[in-house]
Amino acid sequence: MERELLSVAPRRPMLLQLWVVGTSTLVLGIAASALWWEQQLPGRLRQAINREEWSLCLAVTEHLAALRWLGVGAPEEQAHCRRQRAAQLWNEGEHATALLVQQQLVQSIQAGARDVEQLQLWRRELRELAIQRFRSGDLEGSIALLEPLDRAATNSSDRFSNNLRETWSRNRLEAERLDQLVEQERWWEALDSHNRLDHPWWQAQTQPQRRTVEKAIARIGDSQQHQQHGETHANVISGTDLDRAVQQQLEQGLEPWQAFEAGCRALGGQVEEDGPESFCRRRG
């Protein structure tokens, strides 16, 4: 036992020495590789700038930024790469990524007033593109364009996409109401409903209903349809006098249904309903 212990004891310092030598060799190898890579980065950066390879340029400057604790870094080159890369992405239609890179540039100490103006300009252009899609009826496409702007919003009330959704929903509900009013032949209310639509796509989609309403109102004025429910000519106000009175109210800015009621009152009548029809009946 004593001889075995004596034979094992010298092995432990030897193993410790081998571990120290191996570890030191590995660390020195890593350090040498890092030093070699560090020395290569400035040359790769110059090549990327000369070749206008802005994606590679930006990647190299990111590596250099990570080595700033070693006294290495290229903040001016990084700002230049971000500026050029953002413009490249914007021209390629990568609006969200372009805004992200430009935002990083603006947040750096190398940013200038023109960089801030460029970011604001792109945001306005992106919003205008979204509005164009929205007006053409592409709600989801416009929302997708606004996603980077919504991400930068401090709270939900600042999100422009919420306004678009609200406008779209309001017009959709008004169009459904218009269909119901047309089915019920409530022509003046239907005309008022169509005038409340303020979205070009929904206005275009409901043009058939508007033509139906306008034709029905024209027939009422020409053939005195207000009297078709048994009212006598003496009691019902219709024809050119009523049309002229309603037109005067419309010129003052009233909605069609309000103009019909006001025109009727101006001629000494009051609006009454008989089923789906509305007519102006002389009071007294």
pLDDT band of residue 186 (cuts 50, 70, 90) is confident
* 62 in Cβ contact with 89 (< 8 Å): no
pLDDT digits over 5-43, tens only? Answer: 445 445 556 555 555 545 555 554 454 444 444 555 555
* 245 in Cβ contact with 264 (< 8 Å): yes
* pLDDT in the model for residue 158: 64
List Cβ<8 Å contacts ≥24 apart for 143-148.
145/95, 147/96, 148/95, 148/96, 148/99, 148/100
How many Cα atoms are found within 13 Å in the side-chain-facing hemisphere of 44?
Answer: 16
Highest mean pLDDT among 69-83, 147-161, 226-240: 147-161
Three-state SS at 282: strand
pLDDT band of residue 50 (cuts 50, 70, 90) is low
* 161 in Cβ contact with 143 (< 8 Å): yes
pLDDT digits over 263-284, tens only? Answer: 888 888 888 876 556 778 888 6
The beta-strand segments (E) located in the chain are 236-237, 269-274, 277-282
Q: What b/e sequence results for 107-117 when a residue is b if at least 16 CB atoms lie within 10 Å of its CB, and e otherwise?
A: eeeebeeebee
Separation of alpha carbons 138 and 130, rounded Å: 9
> What global pTM score does this model have?
0.59
